[in-house]
Amino acid sequence: MVKYVIKRLLLAILILFGVSVILYTLVRLMPTNFIENQFYATAGSGNADPARLEQMLAYYGLEDDSFWGIIKGYFGWLGKFLTGDMGVSFKYQDKVQNVIFKNMGISFGISFVSLILQLVIAIPLGIKCAVNQYGKLDYTVTFFTMVGISFPTFFFANLLIKWLSVDLGWFPSGGLYSNISYLKDTSDWIRFWDQMWHLILPMFVLVILSVGSLVRYTRTNTLEVLNADYIRTARAKGLSENKVIYKHVFRNTLIPLVTTLAGTLPGLFGGAMITETVFDLPGIGSIAYAAMREGDIPFIMGYNMFIAILTVIGILLTDIMYSVVDPRVKLGK
């Protein structure tokens, strides 16, 4: 196990190096960046000095867009990154790591709760549909899951805002607090519940649009396990159906589901960009989207490398979990 983990970590370093090269090259090839955007915005008022722009670009190592200029800029960025310095965000005027960690809490909260609800709903429902294949429940769940999967996030989110917020007034349409000036004079407990009330619709959107695919995935895996020889043998020995399902089928259904763990970790910390933007939440997803639109190179690099590292860790944890769920899997080689 230790030898396997070390080999995967060494491979992960190589993968992250390749990812960083591709990311930096693509970011440097963007048609504009934050420095140039701010310069041209100032130039509109007649106060901009072209020489000042060159000085600013040179200060941040962005003055040369040639091949060797990009290579030089990359290794300059890499040297700082390896020391834990992701740079200072142009847009947010703070260290990139500080911006990420300050705005990651809301994204992690709604993603984590949504993930738990998805697992609690999807796995039992998928198994139930497989056990009752082609029954009324199976057809009903299949219909609604296909509808949920087909809805674009921005469309479904705005539909809920129009119906539940604007028309019925049951939930707030966006933001994180109802009235900041009012909440300053209230207790932490009231502020907490007010915040939770604002997050119900975003979490509902994430659950509904994601649970369908997990239900279908669980149903398909369960059907494969139900047709296995050892399940027929267990039934032939006289085991009750509940024992067959929950002791034998359920455990083996989890083996393919572990694959989804690889994408879970970056999903928890990476934010839900579209959902956060629609509901005007100060999460890391909407923060990263705003930075990307304005060409904030340090933040784009730091944020994407953060997600890449989480993805590599998620894949490694997935491989380790395979050996936990299925003892037949050996990771020593």
- Domain ranges (residues) in the chain: 2-82, 103-325
The answer for residues whose C-beta is within 8 angstroms of residue 261's C-beta and 6 or more apart is: 314, 317, 318, 321
Looking at the chain, how many residues does it have? 333
- Within its chain, how far is the Cα of 136 from the centroid? 34
Fold classification of 103-325 (topology level) = MetI-like fold (1.10.3720)
Summarize pLDDT for 266-316 with one digit per residue, the tens: 777 766 778 888 888 888 888 888 888 877 888 888 888 888 888 888 887
Helix, strand, coil distribution of the chain in percent, nearest 5 = 75, 0, 25
Summarize pLDDT for 144-182 with one digit per residue, the tens: 888 888 888 888 888 888 888 888 888 888 777 766 555
Has residue 56 got a pLDDT over 70?
Answer: no
Continuous H helices in 132-237: 136-150, 153-160, 180-183, 188-226, 229-236
Cα–Cα distance for residue pair 45/134, rounded to 1 Å: 68
Yes or no: say if 82 and 171 are a contact pair by the CB < 8 Å rule: no
Alpha carbon separation from 201 to 61, 156, 174, 276, 283 (Å, rounded): 43, 11, 9, 11, 15
Yes or no: say if 301 and 95 are a contact pair by the CB < 8 Å rule: no
Summarize pLDDT for 104-157 with one digit per residue, the tens: 888 888 888 888 888 888 888 888 888 888 888 888 888 888 888 888 888 888
Q: What is the mean pLDDT of residues 72-78?
A: 83
Look up residue 324 and give its two tokens. Answer: 């936990």
Has residue 325 got a pLDDT over 70?
Answer: no
